[in-house]
Chain A
């Protein structure tokens, strides 16, 4: 331990009241965040334990894990579908904005994307029920008739169009702005020198993007996708409104039997929940919390692995 060293800096600090204030404020803020996070975790665990160890009502399932599994599946499946649709589209839009569109159009598109991010999720939910579901429903019937041999499209098709595919499309549109905006920032930061190196070798614009822009932006694309994934996993209102769920575990995209998601299920059932049901719902929340933590850890690991030094 160094006992003598701190004396000098402390003497210097007393001369600068602003430093003391700032240090106090930032330390308090940091500690508060830790307390809040710890408090939430503790609350989840304490409230979840009765449901996890104890018996749950028979009509809900054999035990907590059997009950929470379909919800977990639905959460992951819908988020995955949303990412499969949103990430390529977001990357393509960001590339278009940064490398193809004339400046005026690029600016306009940028505003439009930011505007999408500002729409409340209830509106997305309404849009999903009122517009998207009826719009896609005939398409689902067609898919069931013509591609029904594929497990993803096995009939019968939903009569309302409120399927997991519709919900995932809504989710995809919701996460699109975050991913696009971040990718755009990253693509804009591609070193000019690397872009010119590619062009001077006789690369076309697309080849230049493959040689310089995408390698430079790779970890950024992953990071922004994970942020989007976090939002898709936790999205509540839109899914709760759009999805007609029945608690099954099924990969079928267009059927009337759809898995629910953890967040939507909590939102739908919490108002009437009492007794052990409350504990079950909170337990499912704990599962969601764990999934989100895992996803974040995974993304950090991926970013650390794919970041190459010298990405000047």
Chain B
């Protein structure tokens, strides 16, 4: 189920603008890897290049390798649609499909692959995914109402349920808690803790406490100035990054003296 990601010397471009340069990271399976760094340093850009969502922006492309258990996601003949079916993504702002019910939202990805799923299998999957996202008890009596009628935190957990319903190998999360209150944030952090037993998880966050609470490894990105590409500065065990980093700018950033 959960797979290892190897990023090898990745450069990422928006048209002529080189947004990220020379990133190499090994992302462990069954672990949480956090991306931290100041705004604009390219965390989201790197994250989106891991499931080939980067290239949906006009003119955007990458140069380098991303290996999923050894297979290059950017190899010739690889269909980005298949990549995205294996690597789930949760966005910064909750984005359930507004015209679909809670149930339809959970099933949206699965029904893309497998139209002929029996009704009882669907029911099982909906329940399993919503339980997996810690949302089942709150919505089990109203699976037929639109997903947009839920609170922001519930919507975000619905999006997580939608992402895990397709049993991805990897789960990418771009600041999944930044639009949420502290209680919902804790609920999602607990959820991440549980999910990492099954999935490879990569999370972007601006919240240092969150990174140190949920992640096993942390990657610190930085940018030399506006218009310059972002770079990976340091990648190590989370405990080491937050207590005893080997690069000065990492220390400045995590101790709040910067950014």
- Which A residues lie at the B interface, using CB under 8 A? 103, 191, 193-194, 196-204, 207, 211-212, 215-216, 218, 308-312
B112, A203: Cβ atoms closer than 8 Å: yes
The CA of A158 and the CA of B10, in the complex, are separated in Å by 68
Known A-B contacts A103-B58, A193-B95; A201 and B112 likewise in contact (beta carbons under 8 Å): yes
The CA of A207 and the CA of B85, in the complex, are separated in Å by 13
> Any chain A CB within 8 A of the CB of B98?
yes
From B81, B82, B148, B163, contact of A310 by CB (8 A) = B148
The CA of A298 and the CA of B58, in the complex, are separated in Å by 40
> Could you give, for residues 106-141 of chain B, a 1 whenever the CB lies within 8 Å of some chain A CB and a 0 otherwise?
001100110000000000000000000000000000
What residues of A have a CB within 8 angstroms of the CB of B109 in the complex?
Answer: 201-202
What residues of A have a CB within 8 angstroms of the CB of B162 in the complex?
Answer: 201
Q: Among B91, B96, B97, which residue has the most Cβ atoms of chain A within 10 A?
A: B97
> Could you give, for residues 76-102 of chain B, a 1 whenever the CB lies within 8 Å of some chain A CB and a 0 otherwise?
000001111110110101011111100
Known A-B contacts A202-B166, A203-B112; A193 and B93 likewise in contact (beta carbons under 8 Å): yes
From B58, B95, B97, contact of A215 by CB (8 A) = B97
A310, B149: Cβ atoms closer than 8 Å: yes
What residues of B have a CB within 8 angstroms of the CB of A200 in the complex?
Answer: 51, 53, 84, 88-89, 91, 163
Q: Among B51, B108, B113, which residue has the most Cβ atoms of chain A within 10 A?
A: B108
Known A-B contacts A308-B146, A309-B148; A197 and B53 likewise in contact (beta carbons under 8 Å): no
From B58, B146, B148, B166, contact of A201 by CB (8 A) = B166
The CA of A199 and the CA of B149, in the complex, are separated in Å by 23
> Please, which residue of chain B has its CB at the minimum distance from the CB of A214?
B99
What residues of B have a CB within 8 angstroms of the CB of A191 in the complex?
Answer: 95
Q: How far is the CB of B81 from chain A (nearest CB, A)?
A: 5
What residues of A have a CB within 8 angstroms of the CB of B100 in the complex?
Answer: 215
> Any chain A CB within 8 A of the CB of B224?
no
What residues of A have a CB within 8 angstroms of the CB of B46 in the complex?
Answer: none
Question: A199-B56, A202-B84, A312-B148 known; 19 other A-B pairs, CB under 8 Å?
Answer: A103-B58, A193-B91, A194-B95, A196-B91, A197-B96, A197-B159, A199-B53, A200-B51, A200-B53, A201-B88, A201-B163, A204-B81, A215-B97, A216-B98, A308-B98, A308-B146, A309-B149, A310-B146, A310-B148
Known A-B contacts A201-B108, A202-B84, A202-B113; A312 and B98 likewise in contact (beta carbons under 8 Å): yes
The CA of A312 and the CA of B88, in the complex, are separated in Å by 23
| Nearest 10 interchain pairs by C-beta | A310-B148, A202-B85, A201-B109, A215-B99, A200-B89, A202-B84, A193-B95, A310-B98, A197-B95, A308-B99
What residues of B have a CB within 8 angstroms of the CB of A216 in the complex?
Answer: 98-99
A311, B98: Cβ atoms closer than 8 Å: yes
A-B contact pairs, 24 of them (CB 8 A): A103-B58, A193-B93, A196-B56, A196-B95, A197-B97, A198-B97, A198-B108, A199-B53, A199-B84, A200-B51, A200-B88, A200-B89, A200-B163, A201-B163, A202-B82, A202-B84, A202-B85, A202-B166, A211-B97, A211-B108, A215-B99, A216-B99, A309-B149, A310-B98
B91, A311: Cβ atoms closer than 8 Å: no
Known A-B contacts A196-B56, A207-B112, A309-B148; A201 and B84 likewise in contact (beta carbons under 8 Å): yes
- Which B residues lie at the A interface, using CB under 8 A? 51, 53, 56, 58, 81-86, 88-89, 91, 93, 95-100, 108-109, 112-113, 146, 148-149, 159, 162-163, 166
> Please, which residue of chain A has its CB at the minimum distance from the CB of B155?
A310
Number of A-B contacts (CB under 8 A): 77
Q: How far is the CB of A193 from chain B (nearest CB, A)?
A: 4
The CA of A199 and the CA of B52, in the complex, are separated in Å by 10
What residues of A have a CB within 8 angstroms of the CB of B148 in the complex?
Answer: 308-310, 312
What residues of A have a CB within 8 angstroms of the CB of B83 in the complex?
Answer: 202
What residues of A have a CB within 8 angstroms of the CB of B166 in the complex?
Answer: 201-202
The CA of A310 and the CA of B149, in the complex, are separated in Å by 8
The CA of A308 and the CA of B147, in the complex, are separated in Å by 11
What residues of B have a CB within 8 angstroms of the CB of A218 in the complex?
Answer: 99
What residues of A have a CB within 8 angstroms of the CB of B163 in the complex?
Answer: 200-201
Q: Among A103, A193, A202, which residue has the most Cβ atoms of chain B within 10 A?
A: A202
The CA of A202 and the CA of B163, in the complex, are separated in Å by 10
The CA of A207 and the CA of B97, in the complex, are separated in Å by 13
What residues of A have a CB within 8 angstroms of the CB of B95 in the complex?
Answer: 191, 193-194, 196-197
> Please, which residue of chain A has its CB at the minimum distance from the CB of B58?
A103
> Please, which residue of chain A has its CB at the minimum distance from the CB of B86?
A202
> Please, which residue of chain B has its CB at the minimum distance from the CB of A193?
B95
The CA of A40 and the CA of B93, in the complex, are separated in Å by 52
What residues of A have a CB within 8 angstroms of the CB of B53 in the complex?
Answer: 196, 199-200
What residues of B have a CB within 8 angstroms of the CB of A308 in the complex?
Answer: 98-99, 146, 148
> Please, which residue of chain B has its CB at the minimum distance from the CB of A203?
B112
The CA of A282 and the CA of B96, in the complex, are separated in Å by 53
What residues of B have a CB within 8 angstroms of the CB of A310 in the complex?
Answer: 98, 146, 148-149
Known A-B contacts A199-B84, A200-B84, A202-B82; A194 and B97 likewise in contact (beta carbons under 8 Å): yes
What residues of A have a CB within 8 angstroms of the CB of B113 in the complex?
Answer: 202
What residues of B have a CB within 8 angstroms of the CB of A199 in the complex?
Answer: 53, 56, 84
Q: How far is the CB of A90 from chain B (nearest CB, A)?
A: 21
What residues of B have a CB within 8 angstroms of the CB of A311 in the complex?
Answer: 98-99
